[in-house]
Structure 1
Amino acid sequence: MASSRKYFRTYTVAVPLGFCFIFCCIVDSVDPGVSRCEELRLGQYICEDPKIDNATQEPVNCTNKTAVVSCLPAPNITCKDQNGTVSRFTGKEVGFYKNISCRNVTGYSYKVAVALSLFLGWLGADRFYLGYPALGLLKFCTVGFCGIGWLIDFIFISVQIVGPSDGSSYIIDYYGARLTRLSITNETFRKTQM
């Protein structure tokens, strides 16, 4: 009976001390004054430009429409890097990595598509090039829908509404004239003000 009381006393003292130790370790590791480097505001870091592949004009490490670039916190910024280590940066060290969007390209050039549409569009060469053989044959047989279809196709290809049939994007210079469609979502919907 005496040994069970001794065990009970040790247990009642050791368990709260263990919880206290664990709690202190957790509180010590979560420092409210130092945030993670990913949470820095614009202007407190700069991300390096991605390395561009000459053949595709997209970032080299582009997979699933995302690429990774390294970001450098500004000089004298203190934050936690990806390992959780608190560091004071000089502006030359990588603090975190950021995902950027990139496009899926398979080899269809925008310049070639526009040139084919302008000069040989009435024969359907643009549609054959983009992978629409039925529409290309229709344009060839009707001589570009008597001129109207040629003009409409030229406009649609020029403003990048009509793209390759496989769903990929055109190869356009990375810093070139790319068009981005804006869409209304729950995050971009403009609410009327009271």
Structure 2
Amino acid sequence: MQDSLTHQHHRGPRRWYTLGLVVVVVLAVVGLAECVSVGGEYYTNCSSLLPGQYLCTDYSIDPLTQQPRGCTKTGRAKIICNSAPGIICTETNNGTFEREIPCKYTNGYSYETALLLSVFLGMFGVDRIYLGYYAIGLAKFCTLGFLFLGQLIDIILIATQTVGPADGSHYVISYFGAGIEVIRMDNMTYRMPQEDWVMTGAQNKEL
């Protein structure tokens, strides 16, 4: 009886050792399936590459929209990228792969045209009509641009790109031009206070 208990006592650690070895082997196989090295080249899913492990230079810009070709209403476009030397993409079996990048969907509304219309014909509401705000454009036409005050406000709003096309698309601006990115803060964002925002009492006395 004692020999049987001793035998089971010795089998317990061996069983756990075997189970641990099996787990390690399974994890190793999964890792190899994700990234396999063959002859000094690494085969991996290139969609998971980190910055610095790939380079995207094939930016095919559409001259009509001034955005990457294939830009969708969701604000995404696909471009061809190249992985770093020695990395082979499993999806293409070579060093190239498709990657999604953000873009600004445009629908043919030119920023320069809208601004010029606002400056020279804004009192007649032509700028608002051009952007698709027909009711506001008609109101400006009937009131001479709200006695020119509405025209001045619209010039500022269009110049700062605060007001855009009514369909929600972006202005057609040169891809490498002076586009403005509006950053908004709401309840879902948080602004980290900096130490230099709040001056100490001693600093206030010095001032």
Same fold (TM over 0.5): yes
CA contact (8 A) 2:35 2:45 kept: no
Aligned counterpart for 1:53 among listed residues 53, 62, 66: 62
Partner of 2:33: 29
Partner of 1:130: 131
Q: C-alpha root-mean-square deviation of aligned residues, in Å?
A: 3.3
Partner of 2:75: 65
Residue 83 of structure 1 aligns with an amino acid whose one-letter code is E
Cα distance in 2 for partners of 1:53, 1:69 equals 13
**How many Å apart are 1:158 and its aligned residue?**
0.8
**How many Å apart are 1:179 and its aligned residue?**
0.7
Cα deviation, 1:155-179, whole Å, max 9, x if unaligned, reads: 0011111111111111111111111
**How many Å apart are 1:67 and its aligned residue?**
0.8
1:48 aligns to what SS in structure 2? Answer: strand
Q: Is structure 2 residue 52 aligned with structure 1 residue 43?
A: yes
What is the number of residues matched between the two proteins? 167
Cα deviation, 1:83-104, whole Å, max 9, x if unaligned, reads: 396x8xxxxx42x332111122
Partner of 2:146: 145
**How many Å apart are 1:191 and its aligned residue?**
3.3
CA contact (8 A) 1:36 1:79 kept: no
TM-score, normalization by structure 1:
0.70
Partner of 1:83: 91
Partner of 2:177: 176
Q: Sequence identity of aligned pairs in percent?
A: 42
Residue 70 of structure 2 aligns with an amino acid whose one-letter code is N
Q: 1:72 to 1:106 in 2, by over 3 A?
A: same
**How many Å apart are 1:26 and its aligned residue?**
4.1
**How many Å apart are 1:48 and its aligned residue?**
1.4
Cα distance in 2 for partners of 1:74, 1:28 equals 19
**Runs of 5+ unmatched residues, structure 1:** 1-18, 88-92
Q: 1:163 to 1:120 in 2, by over 3 A?
A: same
Q: 1:155 to 1:31 in 2, by over 3 A?
A: closer
Partner of 1:167: 168
Cα deviation, 1:47-74, whole Å, max 9, x if unaligned, reads: 1142111111111122232111222233
**Runs of 5+ unmatched residues, structure 2:** 1-21, 196-207
More strand as a share of residues = 2
More helix as a share of residues = 2
